[in-house]
Amino acid sequence: MEDPKAPGGRIAHAGSFAVWPGWQVLMQDAGVNGANVLRRAQLPGDLLSRESARLDSPTYFRLWEAIEAEAGTAGGPAPLRFARKMSADWFDPELFVALCSEDMNGALGRLAKFKRLSGPMALKVERTARRTTVTLEFLDRALPPPPVLVAFKLVFFVQLARMATRSPVHPLKVGWPSPAMSAGDARAYADYFGVSVERMPAPTVVFTAEDTQRPFLTANHGMWTFFESALRQRLADLDRHASSVERVRGVLLEALPAGELTMQAVSRKLGVSSRTLQRRLKEEGSSFQQTLDALRNSLAHHYLHNSAMSGSEISFLLGFEDPNSFVRAFHGWTGTTPQAVRMASTKVRN
């Protein structure tokens, strides 16, 4: 595939994510001019007509910011306007994969498996006897996602459950970091979800077990079997084209906090020798330790800014042996202490 560029924007291969033609249909139905969106985002005018266009994370986020700007405020928040227009006609693999499932739990399992195909994020699903908690984790904590994208993804899960079951599903909880919004938007989201949006460390929606076990009237095992192999191939292609730094970051994210954070352990996971991985990282201007430090640094800032976790808890999540090791490492990365960063963040919020 060619790699055309527009002023200020680029289409990337490594670490890139899909923009599907169905987006154009959804935007048109919601009254958002797709051509104007692309101009705002400084992207090629035919992007939404391509069969499998891909954008890197910063450009993907810029596209969503342009969608929000073009949508404006008339008619309420853009994510809710999109939700009301969602249908099977919007042929997006994420929606289609989910609709073919037996129930919401099955849909969430499939979405978690293939989430990276549709954006720079991962999906964490935790089930208990009484509830299912869905959490979005963006792959680069140092690059904050646009609030409109965060809101749309959570709205998407709720709308999916309602579409597939034809039932008035209302989550138990919904929240995301810094949900600053106008009073009108807050009411609109509360009316839609049935609960007010809370401030949470990560974008989260919680469903009752009963709602996630309602049979999907759209279930279609035969259609899912037909599409599964193609989706698996796309996922393999994404891994193959990703840079070594990105692949190492992905393994480390899964390994934290309990896994082995060694070159040998990561090499085994990636199926290459330690020497080969070291050479590839060097060719990309990095090293294993630099990649690990950069990941820990970005995660530390994320936790300090968006959670009330103690230094000990953050230290554990980052895979340090003890809190003092975390403090020393943090000072080496930033020249300051975790406590100073948290205090400065608290003053800004207040």
Domain boundaries, the chain: 5-233, 243-349
Of residues 204 and 349, the one with the higher pLDDT is 204
The whole-chain average pLDDT of the chain stands at 82
Nearest to 30, CA basis, from 159, 204, 217, 138:
159
Average pLDDT over residues 219-224: 69
What pLDDT score does 347 carry? 63
SS3 184: helix
Residue matched to tokens 């994320």: 302
More confident residue, 332 or 18: 332
The token pair that represents 209 in the structure block: 């077990």
- Count the residues in the chain: 350
The percentage of residues in the chain with a pLDDT greater than 70, rounded to a whole number, is: 81
Grade residue 226 by pLDDT with cuts at 50, 70 and 90: low
H or E stretch at 17: strand 16-19
For the cut 70, the answer to whether the pLDDT of residue 11 exceeds it is no
Which pLDDT score, from 0 to 100, does residue 38 have? 92
| CATH placement of domain 243-349 | 1.10.10.60
| 3 has pLDDT over 50 | no
Q: What is the pTM of this model?
A: 0.65
Summarised one tens digit per residue, pLDDT across range 154-199 is 999 999 999 999 999 999 999 998 766 888 999 999 999 999 999 9
Q: Return the CATH number of the domain spanning residue range 5-233.
A: 3.90.1520
Quick one: pLDDT band at residue 4, thresholds 50, 70, 90? very low
Of 163-167, 237-241, 255-259, the least confident: 237-241
- 35: which 2 tokens? 């051509």
Q: Which of 31-35, 97-101, 207-211, 335-339 comes out lowest in average pLDDT?
A: 97-101
Q: What is the pLDDT of residues 280-320, one digit of tens each?
A: 899 888 999 999 998 888 888 878 887 778 888 888 888 88
What does the alpha-carbon distance between residue 148 and residue 176 come to, in Å, rounded to a whole number? 11
